[in-house]
Structure formats: structure tokens, C-alpha cells
Structure 1
């Protein structure tokens, strides 16, 4: 993407935010991110992909500033203002690309993906803390509004029915049938769910690389980062997405059920769920898994040389089959049991 060195990133931060430090590039899917280390603390300098508009970045920053007031107990990134009180600045790179830059505080900790595989961690406590964090986040966003909140987002679950043409490209026949069944179920019920269940702006991407865990004391989730996929949808979609990613780190049926229940209980303790919402969670999990498979199938067709696209899908495909094979009525009763647990 943009041609910029760590040294140039340091100069830009010093010039516009009057913060002097050393820059180190961070991995990023579409943007250029640099960790700025200073004696006073660390920051993330972000140069957005040119495809991101000012409005796309503004909703992220607005949400973070809103959550700083409504959800102060989470260690979320803080939006840093320039001397002229700006939080997004235009920049044209040496290659002529017009994009925008921002500065956020750096959130200390490790990613969930690294902690979830450790044998010395209380995984049930960690999973419960994940549900608590997402519950706090959704509670903090419930009254957030922004002019861009109804924008198109690739990963909005509402786009799942539009991916049905990809099903024929899934080579495994049994998997095709499962995806067809759960995609059609979602397509048939989404409109009704939107009429009767709570809607709000949601994070929409609490994956195991965007969830930050602190290991000071007992390991627990203390932050969520990367608000780039925010959209307006069923509040419960955030919970379903969170469960999908957490389940990538558990395998046998008992561990899968216990993980889902731990996250549900944690979420419900902070953002109380109705019976109607809980009854929809399973279907949204299956819809998100189907969406992930179809999105990767499409990506692989466009880039067949990248075998990693399908390799990284092994866990998703395993999970879709595994959850479908579980006793559905019993699973729903277990989900509903969170309504009757009192700490």
C-alpha cells in the first residue's frame, strides 16, 4: 500500500501530535500501522487504506470517544487529538495516494489467540471474561448513533444471502448442504428478527486477534480493538461472532458447549439477554460460520495460488459440522439456562 518508513511515521507523529518516539511497524491486513514508543507511553499511528473514507474512520473514532464515557472499565484505545483539536488528518503519500492518518493510544496485553492455547491459564475464567467484555461493549454502544452507521460493510451478516451463488463452489457435498440449510434459514428469518430483537451499532469483529487479554493477575479480557467493521444490526450478532472465534480454540463437544455457555453467562451478566435473543444465538453462529466459508471460497477462487485461505478455514468447517451434529433442543435448553443463573 502506502510507501512510508518507520522513520517517516515518527516524523509525522511529532509534526502533527507533538509526540516524539521511535516507530515500529505492526502487522495489518489493509492499513499501515506503527507502534510509537515514547517514555510517557505507547501509541498506534494508523495510515488508512485509500479505500477508507473520512466517514469510515470518523465512525470508529466517534465510537471510541463515546465508549470512553459509557464503558470506562474497558481499556479501549483512546483517540489522540492534534494541537488543532483534529482527530483525522489527510495525507498524500510519495506514490500519490490520498488517505488519512490517526493516532490512538496503544493497548497493552496479549491477543486472545495466544492466551487461549496456554495450559497454565484458567480457560473458563478467560472465556467468561470475554463474554463480560463484549457485554460491556454492547451495553456502552446501545445509544451510539452516527451518520455512517448504516453504511455497507462487507462482513455484515446481512450480506450472507447474497453469497448463495458461492455455495456451488464448495467442493464437499455434505458441507454444501449444511451451508445451504443455515444460509436459507437466516435469509428466511432475518427480517422478523430485526423487527422484534434489539438493534444497535455493533463492533462486528471480536475475533481472537482483536481481543486483548491482560495477564496481570488472573488472565482476563480487558480490551477490544479494531472497530473498522462496525455496522448497525442485531445486538446479539456481536455475541454470536465472539463465540465463533473463541470456539476455534476448543475441539471436543464438551469443551465447545462449556465455552459457549461461559461466554453467554459473561455477556448476560453485563448486557441482559431476553429469551428470544438467546433462541437466535445458535442460528446466528451457524450463519456466521456459513458466511466465513463462503467469503473464503470466493477469495480462493479469485486467488487460487493462496492455499492458506482454505487452510485457515479448517476450524470453521469443522465447527459448522460439529455444531450441526449436536442435539439442538438440548443445546437450546443449555443456552436458556443462563437466564436462571444468579451470582
Structure 2
């Protein structure tokens, strides 16, 4: 029922003896009118429908009357019967009318707030909370979807967020609430709180808060939730949101002290409120066109993207220090002690990245946080394929681990289901899976299978290749056996040329380079024939990782596979580094070469860091391997691993991560190529999708490697918040293989900072 100004004037005259003008004002769920009497004094009239909970409406008025001593709270104007609201029946509808005093000021969302405004908001909110400390009103102990204590109910609305990147971020923060806040929730102080100090409910005048209005979301909940909500909206449209929140928290604490436990969860509560807001907006969008439902949506998303870049420990430390509590950041002596302990108890040949070591304490999709408060964009961890702590993956693993984890001696649906999902993504002849725990183990098994099938032992690999850490995998890896401490090349291992189009024998511009590099493999096979020796397998990565982030030349594998099969050998595609959509154009790297391997080895991204790997073979090869000796792997194929693998595949598809890799990768390669025109130190940019390398040289003619310059650049980029690493036979290739959730903004920032760093060279 839509009311007009004349009706309101009549009711106010009848029930309140007020002679006023009435002007329609905006409202969220109620109809609002601005009133003015003959003396120019203003009031607010609010009309709600019969659907209103009278018990709760009375409670709101009672709380406002309890807070009458605060000038930031509207006063309740009673009717002629002395009641806080008036019941009216019109056209068989029940309406409830109330009149409140008018507070001067501008809504916070309509101005550009200053720090003094945030100080005032913290101060005034604390006065309100302190006044309500011991106030009891049973109606406030209610269920409301806007109670942060019930934020996990928003998970039902996540599916309404259509953008997968945004949906994943909201789900991530809801997961963090479950992990970090929920266990502490019952120990947090509770009280009746306003629960909605948003920028539409806060009035500012002359540098201070002049009003906090609308108690419609009032609830009995954790006290710190009230602070979190106020911080959330205060940070809208701010370049340094954490600084704003710290100002508000400090001023609040000076009036009504917060505990360290409350401060420890504030970061996650702010994120939870933002997630609640965007989930609810998305849900309402599917049911309503009311613009009031979406008024904060864009600001909330902007702040979420800012918030995930802030280390939670840094936020907690900032809040602690603003309230006079001790720092929670790690200290350098603690680092030194940990490094000493590591030396004493862990093999010394396990290296640590970077000159100034990192202790990573948390992960968030494409971001990593250390225990000193730093945030880093992970530009190199291809193992965390769908992102660190991906909420869908975490939940899938938790659910199965809570239900069952055992070996494959028993029937289990997930084992078959995952094998079917994996083989469905491959050529039809690749139908049989064997599951292991690592890529190294999988490569070891692939070689064992090939040797059994062919009754031969010799294997052809590529120079500088790396296939893992098992004894057999080390024998396959010139990167290891030719390197420091290496055992040297075994007589049954044969090295083909690294098909490097930048510094190899055949280079860019040679249209036949692929065939020429393939001829080197044919040469090895011919030499084995002359020695009356056959070949078990040819194995290579379908894009070369340690070999220098190198896409294979056009036509290379097609020709190599033809020669290998002619000699009776098997063709093994090592997809451990590049599979699962990373190359963008295709799901598997071998598809870029238009070939079908006999054996495919999967690892690293297959489980997003969970120890899982696989060997996929043809039915014929599997039948040969089934020779009476059982293949049993205690952990390979266990239910948790299988559910993990299924979740990874589901996330890749549902979040369209292969397309993301294509688009972001194309942008990144293009931006790096443009940078090459400006900085002579970049000799070559190459890659596919989110598998990218930039080779640094001192001289583009001699191709002298830019070492140690590249190491300095990696360290400088790390100090700027970008984790990179080096690769290649000469250790002069910047490798960029980030989680697939890495986006164009991340890529743009990476290139911009790299540009600045390279200016010094």
C-alpha cells in the first residue's frame, strides 16, 4: 500500500495533534516521510505494514528510549495516548506509524569522510555500546540474516554470484570465518548491538558523527560484530582501508575497551560482513529490482578485492597496536632460531628460496601471507593450481576425511569416478589409470610399465630435463645427473637436443626447426639400432619447465612420436607441470602438438598440493602390465585423494579456469613482450597460457646470460610483493607459473613493478 502526504498529515493531526507538512523520503522496507511544523522544526515519520513484528518494533523503541541521553540517537515522539507507535487499519491492512526526532547532518555515503569522522564514529559507537552493556530486551535475541554470528547461512546464496572469481573470493572468506571466528565465538562478549552502522545510517556534521539511525537490524550478538560492521562501511571508497579501520577501532577502544581476542577476529569479521553483503545482493538481484537492495554492492566488491590483499596478521597487529596491545608479528631472532633448528633436523641440501627468507603462514587463492605482515602475489606456484585454500576444495577434502580414508583394497565409488573423469578429458585410447602420490613416483611407474611392455630398457630424454626425485626419475633427469653431485648419465639413458628456439641449434624463423630437432631423436634411435638395442620409451614434458619454460616447436612431437613408435618404443607425455588447462588453448600440453601419447603422467596440480599423481595408459599397455605381479600402492587412489582430484576438476570447469589461463596468459605475454622493447635485458618472452618464461641476457647477440642480475631482480620483486623464481640450463629464465586464479590485474601489477625494477639495468 503506497501512502501519500495528505493521508500522513491527517493521521499526524488525529493521533499526534501535530500540524506539519509531509514530504515523501526514500526507504528500504518502510515508507518514510520528512515532516516540518510551523516553527520549522523537523521530524521523521515511519510507516510499516502489518507484517511487522510488533514485539520487535516495541523493542526498537525501548532501546532508543534507553539511549535518549545520547544526542546521536533519535528521540521517540509519543502519540496522544503516550505510545511509541500508532496502530492504524486502512483498506483491511494494518499499519504502524511512529514519529521520531530529526537529526541534522549528511549521510556518510554522500560525503568524503575525513579521519576525524572515523574517530567520532568509533567514539559515538562505543558510547552507544557502553550504554547498552547491561540492557536486556528479549526481542533482540532473535534470528536475523544480518547477524554476523549467522553469516555461514550465506553459503546457500553463493550460487547467485555468477562471476566465478567473485564467488570463490566470497566463499573463501566464509571458510575463514568458519575456521578462525567460529571456534572463538562463544567466548566473545555479547550484547544488544545496533548491527547496521553503515554509510546510509551514519550522519556527519561539522567533522563529527551527528547521528546513528535505524535500529531495524538490532540484535543480541557478539559486541565486536558492531565494530566490524562500522569499520566495513567506513572503509568504503578509501585508498588505505586498514588505516581507516584502525582509527575507528582506536577511538572506540578509548571509550569502551576491546579485548585482544576480539581484535584477533576483526579482520575476518569485516570480510564476513562484506561476503554477507555481496551474497545477499546477488540473491536479491534474482528476485527483485529494488535499487535499495544493491546500493552497496559495488563498494563491497571493491573493498573485498582490497581486503584479500591485506595480510590478516598485519591487520591484527595494526588493531592491537592501535589499542595499546603488544605486536603479534614475528621477530628476526625467531627466524634465526627456526633456521638453526631446520639445519639440525632437516637435510641441509633442502634449499630455501630468497636471500631474506620467508616464513609463509597463510594462503588465500593467488596470495600468500608471511608472519611479518607481508602479502605476496604467488607468481610461481603451479602446484596450487586452483589457488591456495580454495574453499570448494577444502570442503571436499574435509568432508571425505571426516567420513573415510583407507586403501584401495575395498570398493569405493570415488576411485572409479575420478578415473572416468580423468580419462574422459583425454584421447579415447587412454582409458586406464594407476594412482600414485607424486609426479616422481608416477614417472618411475611409467618407465617401469614401458620397460615391461617393450622388454627394452633404454630411454630417450631431452637435455636439461627434470622428471623427479626417485632413483629412476633422477636417472631420467639431466638437470640432476649432469649437475653438482650428480651421478652422471647411465648407459641406458640417451639425451636428445633441448628444442630451444631462442638459443638452440635451430631458432625462431626456421620453419623446419621442429623437424630438425626431431631428427636428433631419430639419430639416437638409429644409433641404438646399430648397437642391436631397442628403445623402451621417449619421455618429455609437453612444454619444458626446468629446461627453460620452452614451448615445443611446431610439429616436433608428431615427428618424434612417429620415429619412436617405428622403433617399437612408447611415447610418454610428462604433464606434471603443464596439464589441467594451464596452457589455455588446450587442456593438456600434448594437445598443442596434435599428438596422442601412449602414456600420460600427471602430478603437482592434480591435487592442488595434496599428494596425488597418476599414470594413464592404453588398455593394451595395461593388459600387458597385468602379468600376475600385483600393483598395489598403499595411498594411491585413497578416497580423500580421489575426492580431492574430483574437486580440482570440478573447479577448473565451473570457474572456467582454462579460459582464464588463456586470457590472462595472453595479456601477460603481450605485456612482457612490450617490456622487451624497452629493456634490453629481456632477450626472449615465451610460453602458453599461464606457463610463461622471460629469458634475461646481457647481450642479445651473444646471449650471455644475465646472472647474477636475474637473482637480484627476483629479490627486488619479492620485496615488492611478487614471488618469482628462475629456471633454465643457465638459470637466467624468469619463470611465471601462478595459480590459475591469477588475474589480469595481478599480471598488470607484476609487469608494472618489473618495469620499474629493470630501470636499474
The answer to whether TM tops 0.5 is yes
Cα distance in 1, alignment partners of residues 58 and 135 from structure 2: 13
Deviation at 1:62, TM superposition (A): 0.4
Give distance in 2, aligned partners of 1:51 and 1:311.
24
2: distance between equivalents of 1:307 and 1:208? 16
Q: Which residue of 1 aligns with 2:260?
A: 275
Aligned to 1:334: 318
1:187 matched to 2:184? The reply is no
| Match for residue 213 of structure 1 among 194, 200, 204 | 204
Aligned pair in 2 of structure 1 residues 127, 320: CA closer, same or farther (>3 Å)? same
Equivalent residue number for residue 25 of structure 2: 26
Q: Secondary structure at the match of 2:265?
A: helix
The match for 1:294 among 253, 268, 279 is 279
Cα deviations by residue, 1:128-179 (Å, 9 ceiling, x for unpaired): 1111111111111111211211122231123322221322332333333322
Equivalent of residue 223 in structure 1, options 186, 189, 211: 211
Paired residues for 1:78-117 under 5 Å: 78-93=75-90, 95-116=91-112
State yes or no: 1:128 paired with 2:116: no
Q: Structure 1 pair 308/98, CA: closer, same or farther in 2 (3 Å)? A: closer
Please give the alpha-carbon distance, in whole angstroms, between the structure 2 residues aligned to 1:112 and 1:311: 13
3-state SS in 1 of match to 2:87? strand
CA distance in structure 2 between the aligned counterparts of 1:159 and 1:101, rounded to whole angstroms: 30
Q: 1:331–1:306: structure 2 CA closer, same or farther, 3 Å change rule?
A: same
Indicate how the Cα distance of structure 1 residues 264 and 314 shifts in structure 2: closer, same or farther if over 3 A, else same: same
Q: Retained in 2: the 8 A contact 1:32–1:49?
A: no
**Are residues 26 and 167 of structure 1, via their aligned partners in 2, closer, same or farther at CA, if it must alter by over 3 Å?**
same
SS of 2:226 mapped into structure 1 = helix
Normalized per residue, which structure has more helix? 1
Give the Cα–Cα distance (whole angstroms) in 2 for the partners of residues 63 and 292 of structure 1.
25
Kindly tell me: are residues 42 and 308 of structure 1, through their superposed partners in 2, closer, same or farther at Cα, counting changes over 3 Å? closer
Question: Compared with structure 1, are the counterparts of its residues 306 and 61 closer, same or farther at alpha carbon in structure 2 (3 Å cutoff)?
Answer: closer
User: Which residue of 73, 77, 81 maps to 1:76?
Assistant: 73
CA 1:307 to 1:20, structure 2 compared with 1: closer, same or farther past 3 Å? closer
Q: Deviations over 1:163-220 (max 9, x none)?
A: 21322332333333322222123234555433211100111111111101122xxx11
Cα distance in 1 between the residues matched to 2:263 and 2:305: 21
Paired residue for 1:313, among 267, 291, 297?
Answer: 297
Paired residue secondary structure (1:248): coil
Q: Distance in 2 between matches of 1:309 and 1:48?
A: 18
Tell me if the contact between 2:180 and 2:265 (Cα under 8 Å) persists in the aligned partners.
Answer: no
* Residue 6 (structure 1) aligns with: 5
Task: Report if aligned partners of 1:74, 1:133 keep a CA contact under 8 Å in 2.
Answer: no
Cα pair 2:266 2:316 within 8 Å, conserved: no
Structure 1, unmatched stretches of 5+, are: 118-122
Q: How many angstroms does 1:297 deviate by?
A: 1.3
CA–CA separation in structure 2 for the residues paired with 1:141 and 1:8? 36
Classify 1:188/1:51 alpha carbon distance in 2 versus 1 (closer, same or farther; 3 Å): farther
Does the residue aligned with 1:43 lie in a helix, a strand or coil? strand
Partner secondary structure for residue 302 of structure 1: coil
Q: What does the per-residue CA deviation read over 1:75-126, in whole Å, with 9 as the maximum and x for residues that have no partner? A: 3111111222111221112x32212111111111111112226xxxxx1111
CA gap 1:307/1:143 in 2 versus in 1, 3 angstroms:
closer
> In 2, are the aligned partners of 1:204 and 1:230 still within 8 Å (CA)?
yes
Taking structure 1 as reference, are residues 9 and 274 closer, same or farther at Cα in structure 2, changes over 3 Å only? same
Alpha carbons of 1:281 and 1:45: their partners in 2 closer, same or farther (altered >3 Å)? same
Distance in 2 between the 1:170 and 1:5 partners? Answer: 37
| CA distance in structure 2 between the aligned counterparts of 1:236 and 1:312, rounded to whole angstroms | 22
Q: Is structure 2 residue 150 aligned with structure 1 residue 159?
A: yes
Structure 1 counterpart SS, 2:100: strand
Q: Distance in 2 between matches of 1:32 and 1:103?
A: 12
Q: Which residue in 1 is equivalent to 2:269? A: 284
- Match of 1:61? 61
Q: What corresponds to 2:221 in structure 1?
A: 233
**Mapping 1:240-259, distance limit 5 Å:** 240-250=228-238, 252=239, 255-259=240-244
Seen in structure 2, the aligned counterparts of structure 1 residues 53 and 284 have a Cα distance that, compared at 3 Å, is same
**Alpha-carbon RMSD:** 2.0
Deviation at 1:276, TM superposition (A): 0.7
CA separation of 1:310 and 1:12: change in aligned 2, threshold 3 A? closer
Partners in 1 of 2:131 and 2:202 — Cα distance?
17
> 1:267, CA displacement in angstroms?
1.1
Partner Cα distance (1:194, 1:23) in 2? 45
Gaps of 5+ in 2: 326-761
2-structure distance, mates of 1:76, 1:169: 36
Alignment CA distance shift 1:149-1:306 (3 Å): closer
Q: 1:82 to 1:302 in 2, by over 3 A?
A: closer
Q: Can you list the C-alpha shifts for 1:288-339, whole angstroms capped at 9, x where unaligned?
A: 1111111111112224x67896685222112112111112222211110122
146-155 or 307-316: which moved more? 307-316
The DSSP-based 3-state class of the residue aligned with 1:221 is strand
Cα distance in 1 for partners of 2:217, 2:60 equals: 9
Is 1:30–1:49's contact at 8 Å kept on the other side of the alignment?
no
Report if aligned partners of 1:206, 1:224 keep a CA contact under 8 Å in 2.
Answer: yes
* Cα separation, 1, equivalents of 2:306 and 2:278: 15
Distance 1:8 1:243, change over 3 A: same
TM-score, normalised to structure 2's length? 0.41
1:258 to 1:243, Cα distance in 2 relative to 1, 3 A: same
